[in-house]
Amino acid sequence: MKIFLSSDMAGTAGVVDWEQCRPGQTDYELYRGLLRDEVNAAIDGVVTAAGGEPEILVNDSHGRMANLRPERLHGDASYLSGRHKPFYMMQGLDDSFDGVFFVSYHGSMSGTPATLSHTYNPLAIAEVRLNGAVTGESGINALVALGHGVPVLLITGDQTTAAELRPFCPDARAAVVKKSISRFAAESLHPHRACALIERTAREAVEALAAGAIGLPAIALPATLSVRMRNPDIAEMACWLERVEPDAEDATVVHLRDSDPIRLYRTFITLVLLTRGIAE
């Protein structure tokens, strides 16, 4: 059993503020510990379900992408950390993996208020749709899983995060560890209960995979990512890229269309990195 685990931070039980997720801030050490416990709970679920010695790769995907401590990871997991990764939140995934976990993910800014909601860069991006349906980072990242033929097994975070993944990965199991009240408030499970829920759900997800009950992401190809940028300047800049077209009516919207889901994801990442130049 070989599992790819992409960890964000905003979806951890108890986390409700950016300050809790920023290195150097008073509470960061506490909350990175809670994130680590959730990552380890997911790994424990794999170990219990799969037996033997599963191979786990943890790709740190939040902020400067060095929030965990390698020596504290369970399951002798490998740790992919640091910045400027060409495949960003999905760096390290390839065809050899059996499943993908999204741990401590968060919702987008569309729909119900979600704690710390954003999609890659909140200063540049207001909303993303995948084949017409609103998507968070999870649905966008599922493109890479689809491209490699690897199913998404698990997502953890608040209730909006779980709901957002469902249209794209209907078989993925969700561990909902908090209920978002607003962008900066949530009712969280106690960390002990959150970890127990994540461990149990991860175990069930691996068992469901073994039973043949989890399919590949259900994303029709060619796929279209429609991105509403924060303003027309950013949208215009996005159109400098190949395979990015302006919307016919809305000057803030651009469309990325591709039959290759991995190339589509790369175009999106290039858009994120390019527009940082004028969005920050």
73-78 long-range contacts, Cβ below 8 Å, gap at least 24?
73/36, 73/39, 73/40, 73/43, 74/40, 74/43, 74/44, 74/47, 75/43, 75/44, 75/46, 75/47, 77/5, 77/43
C-alpha to C-alpha distance for 280 and 269, rounded to whole angstroms: 16
C-alpha to C-alpha distance for 16 and 139, rounded to whole angstroms: 22
Q: Which of residues 129-158 bind Zn ion (CB under 5 A)?
A: 137
The least CB distance from residue 116 to Zn ion, in Å, is 8
Residue number, 82 or 215, with CB nearest to Zn ion: 82
Residue number, 18 or 179, with CB nearest to Zn ion: 18
The least CB distance from residue 8 to Zn ion, in Å, is 4
Residue span binding Zn ion (CB under 5 A) among the ranges 3-11, 41-49, 146-154, 193-201: 3-11
Which strand (E) or helix (H) includes residue 274? Answer: helix 261-279
Q: What's the sign of the alpha-carbon dihedral 67, 11, 56, 2?
A: negative
Residue span binding Zn ion (CB under 5 A) among the ranges 2-10, 77-85, 164-172, 222-230: 2-10
Residue span binding Zn ion (CB under 5 A) among the ranges 5-13, 20-28, 44-52, 153-161: 5-13
C-alpha to C-alpha distance for 264 and 262, rounded to whole angstroms: 5
- Take residue 119 and report the two structure tokens written for it: 């999609």
Q: Phi, psi (5° rounding) for residue 274?
A: -65, -50
- According to CB under 5 A, which one of 7, 8, 88, 98 is a site residue for Zn ion? 8
164 forms part of the interface with Zn ion (CB under 5 A): no
Say if residues 107 and 160 touch (Cβ distance below 8 Å). Answer: yes
The least CB distance from residue 137 to Zn ion, in Å, is 5
Active site residue 118: yes
Residue number, 50 or 110, with CB nearest to Zn ion: 110
Binding-residue pattern over the window 254 to 273 for Zn ion, x denoting contact by CB under 5 A: --------------------
Residue number, 97 or 102, with CB nearest to Zn ion: 102
Give the CA distances from residue 114 to residues 2, 44, 177, 272, in Å, rounded to whole numbers and listed in that order. 31, 27, 13, 21
Q: Which of residues 41-70 bind Zn ion (CB under 5 A)?
A: none
- Take residue 30 and report the two structure tokens written for it: 């506490």
Residue number, 137 or 199, with CB nearest to Zn ion: 137
Site size for Zn ion, by CB under 5 A?
2
Residue of 106, 118, 148, 255 with catalytic role = 118
Residue nearest to Zn ion (CB): 8
The least CB distance from residue 242 to Zn ion, in Å, is 26
C-alpha to C-alpha distance for 214 and 185, rounded to whole angstroms: 33
The least CB distance from residue 44 to Zn ion, in Å, is 23
C-alpha to C-alpha distance for 271 and 240, rounded to whole angstroms: 9
Sequence-ordered list of residues with C-beta below 8 angstroms from that of 268, at least 6 positions apart, any chain? 120, 140, 225, 227, 256
Residue number, 56 or 116, with CB nearest to Zn ion: 116
Q: Which residues of the chain form contacts with Zn ion (CB under 5 A)?
A: 8, 137
Q: Catalytic residues, which ones?
A: 118
